[in-house]
């Protein structure tokens, strides 16, 4: 299991190091205050089809943040994958994956055309996505 919790906060540094700026904390554009990432991985101890089978579940959370003129709401998403590595004792791997496992609707950015139209919009993230990847390793 792996968990990463960065805390991001920026201050106006124009007043020099060691001094407290007269302004409260200033958020960087496109930067959430909190992000939390975690993953769980399980590998089966015995071979499956001559290879190593593993299961992964990843979670990503971030708080809302401000872009130039739009507040992007915070969101949480889950991704998962099953990997069979070394299929039939060959340098072949198969990976089945699902992005946005819970099929949540969320926004992962914004778009602005304010200069000409005054319009601001949020960019919708991809819905649940399934996929398969094959990998063959050449050489030693």
| 70-83 confidence digits (pLDDT tens) | 788 899 999 999 99
* pLDDT at site 101: 94
* pLDDT at site 14: 45
* pLDDT at site 5: 56
pLDDT at 28 > cutoff 90 = no
Mean pLDDT in residue range 52-73? 88
Instruction: Give the H/E segment covering residue 86.
Output: none
pLDDT at 59 > cutoff 60 = yes
Higher pLDDT, 12 or 7: 7
Residue 102 belongs to what domain range? 2-136
* pLDDT at site 10: 46
* pLDDT at site 98: 97
Which DSSP string do the residues of 22-53 spell out, in sequence order?
SS--BPPTT--SBEEEEEEEEE-SS-BTTBEE
* pLDDT at site 111: 72
* pLDDT at site 92: 92
Burial class (CB in 10 A: 0-12, 13-18, 19+), 65: buried
Number of domains in the chain: 1
d(Cα 48, Cα 37) in Å, to the nearest integer? Answer: 29
| Mean pLDDT computed over every residue of the chain | 80
* pTM of this structure: 0.72
Contacts of 29 (CB under 8 A, 6+ apart): 66, 67, 68
Mean pLDDT in residue range 78-92? 91
């Amino acid at each position: 299991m792996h968990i990463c919790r960065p805390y991001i906060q920026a201050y106006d540094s124009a007043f020099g190091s060691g001094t407290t700026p007269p302004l409260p904390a200033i958020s960087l554009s496109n930067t959430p205050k909190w992000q939390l990432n975690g993953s769980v991985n399980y590998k089966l101890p015995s071979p499956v089809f001559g290879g190593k089978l593993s299961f992964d579940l990843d979670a990503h959370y971030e708080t809302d943040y401000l872009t130039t003129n739009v507040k992007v709401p915070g969101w949480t998403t889950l991704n998962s994958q099953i990997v069979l590595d070394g299929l039939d004792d060959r340098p072949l791997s198969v990976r089945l994956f699902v992005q946005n496992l819970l099929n949540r609707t969320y926004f992962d950015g914004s778009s602005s055309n304010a200069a000409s139209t005054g319009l601001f919009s949020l960019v919708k993230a991809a819905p649940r996505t399934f996929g398969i990847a094959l990998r063959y390793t050449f050489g030693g």
